[in-house]
Structure 1
């Protein structure tokens, strides 16, 4: 399976999906969520990924400037 072109494409997309979760676990608070309920946990995840997107935007602007 590793020799197929779809596998390489899948690995690129997988890295792009897993990076924010890894960042959220090391920098953000999603390793051990300290709230109860799906709504509150969803809010923590949304805020964490908003932070991830802000960090990405700063990096992208730095490269373009």
Structure 2
């Protein structure tokens, strides 16, 4: 018995617009930030107890991401080689 190929749940009228493609690009950019924060920044699981401590950890992690991003953009990173 042959299996049917599953298609997308989004119809062709949505996919054909330029705004949809732009939305996907922006969504990917945002998901990359949160992926970095979870894996590298250590916010997959909060390391502290208490709202103020977790809030501080979050702010510091996002500040570190911003510094890392700026270092990449402006070429401030040291060579790993």
After TM superposition, the score normalised by the length of structure 2 is 0.68
Which 5+ residue runs of structure 2 have no aligned equivalent?
A: 1-13, 77-81
Tell me which protein shows more helix as a share of its residues. Answer: 1
Partner SS, residue 15 of structure 2: coil
Provide the aligned length of Structure 1 versus Structure 2. 63
After TM superposition, the score normalised by the length of structure 1 is 0.81
- The alignment yields a C-alpha RMSD, in angstroms, of 1.6
Q: Which has the higher contact order (CA 8 A, sep 6+)?
A: 1
Report which of the two structures shows the higher radius of gyration computed on alpha carbons: 2
